[in-house]
Amino acid sequence: MSALMTIGFPQNFIWGTATAAYQVEGAIHEGGRTDSIWDVFCRKEGVIHDHSSGQIACDMYHRYPQDVGIMKELGVDAYRFSISWNRIIPQLGGPVNQEGVDYYHRLLDSLLQAEIRPVATLYHWDLPQYLQDRGGWINRDTALRFADYAQTLAQSLGDRVDTWTTLNEPWCSAYLGYGSGEHAPGIRDYAQTLSAAHHLNLAHGLAVQALRSVLGEKARVSVTLNLTASVAESAAPEDVAAKRRVDLLANEIWLGPMLDGSYDPELLEVTSDYSGWSFLKDGDEEIIHQPLDVLGVNYYSSSHVRGVTDPDEIASRKASHSSPMPAQEIVDSLPPKGPLTAMGWNQEPRCLTDLLLELSRRYPELDLMVTENGSAWDDQVSLDSQAPGGKIIHDPQRVAYLDAHVKALKKAIEGGAHLTGYFVWSLLDNFEWAYGYQKRFGIIGVDFSTQERIWKDSAYWYQRIIREGLDS
């Protein structure tokens, strides 16, 4: 019996790590690539905290052999990466860019040679700008173009990909992109958030159909959602109602159509002041509701909420547009407690256990994977003659965070959760969206002035977990 089996993990449990194209690839003007919405967004004054962009990022476009070598040394079973849509189809309507396809073939060659399973995400927020110019995710046609793109990838990369993930965190694409405007394309309009959310759902369903039309039922298909783990402050009706409202807009808007086959009528009701949902067409829910092999769950922190009952306060909140999500005027999000990460996020691993158990009870036929989990800290480089390159980053807080969350996985599995894999976010320090390079999630550090990779204690911890299992 393996060490992993003795501490509650299945023998075939997948240990992985993850990145996203715009955050690591760089080479934004190479290989036939055209602009994504993030290239354009980063050129706007004041939207990126350190005025940076993904122009170079980790230069993984050129340095992927080194990074795959690091993954092999770590001992990971799988690597979750995303594909840049605008590398594959740089212009509206095509043609397919062979240089872009060839890059991902080289990456796949390197991974497969290292015996690392490729887990490919089709969309990790970097919409081609030519589609944004036509309305982006509020335009139904974008979902149709996404299906074309998915079919192209299935034909081009075939069954070399172990698992296909349609979307990463559509919550962020809809609510941060169209609600708060913190992310590209930088729009603040609640009606547009709901339209974008629906068209992302539709794109997911169409993409699953497209993948399976080419690859057949052998295609292993998933979606990754950053489901909110919300906790009601008390059992008071108003606090329970606040949690329900968060769940509707953060979670049920995806789970309902994707996995249950329809939107919850309460969701349509509570958002009726913002949209009549005219974008929801007959047959859409059937298209969205496609059989999946895996549900990916991204988890970083929890959210504690209480209800708002004062009519004047509710009216004020409704007018203030203070939340990325609409219909949150009855919700008071409480300040996070305890030691906070550099992102200001709390650490509550038990909520990860609870979330996985709840999902497994609700969808007993579905495998679950934690496709992102990690934490940002203010890392400092230390000299160490025994370390690769003579440098190391001691990150005890990240090690403690990861250790606690892997133990939370163990509890979920022991409680009956159908959990088949775990991916640390992230392999490398990278371009952290609106924060630029100020927030560092990597278990491998990056000196962005030299592109030197620097191992952290958390990387050695993860290597040991993969090889030896977790201390009970």
Pick out the residues of the known binding site.
23, 124, 168, 300, 425, 432-433
Give CB contacts under 8 A, 24+ apart, made by 45-52: 47/186, 47/434, 48/434, 48/435, 48/436, 49/434, 49/435, 49/436, 49/438, 50/435, 50/436, 50/437, 50/438, 51/436, 52/431, 52/436, 52/437
Q: Which two tokens stand for residue 258?
A: 């994707």
From 25, 169, 252, 329, the catalytic residue = 169
Pick out the residues of the known binding site for substrate.
23, 124, 168, 300, 425, 432-433
73 is catalytic: no
Give the Å distances, CA to CA, from 437 to 57, 120, 264, 311.
9, 24, 39, 42
Query: What sign does the dihedral 203-354-117-364 (CA atoms) show?
Result: negative
Query: What sign does the dihedral 27-33-38-39 (CA atoms) show?
Result: positive
DSSP string, 163-203: EEEEEE-HHIIIIIHHTS-SSTT----HHHHHHHHHHHHHH
Query: 66 in helix, strand or coil?
Result: helix
Angle between helices 190-215 and 140-157 (to 10 degrees): 30
User: Residue 268, Cβ neighbours under 10 Å: how many?
Assistant: 15
372 is catalytic: yes
Angle at 428 between CA 85 and CA 53, to 5 degrees: 55
Q: Which two tokens stand for residue 14?
A: 């997948």
From 25, 285, 329, 372, the catalytic residue = 372
Active-site annotation, residues: 169, 372
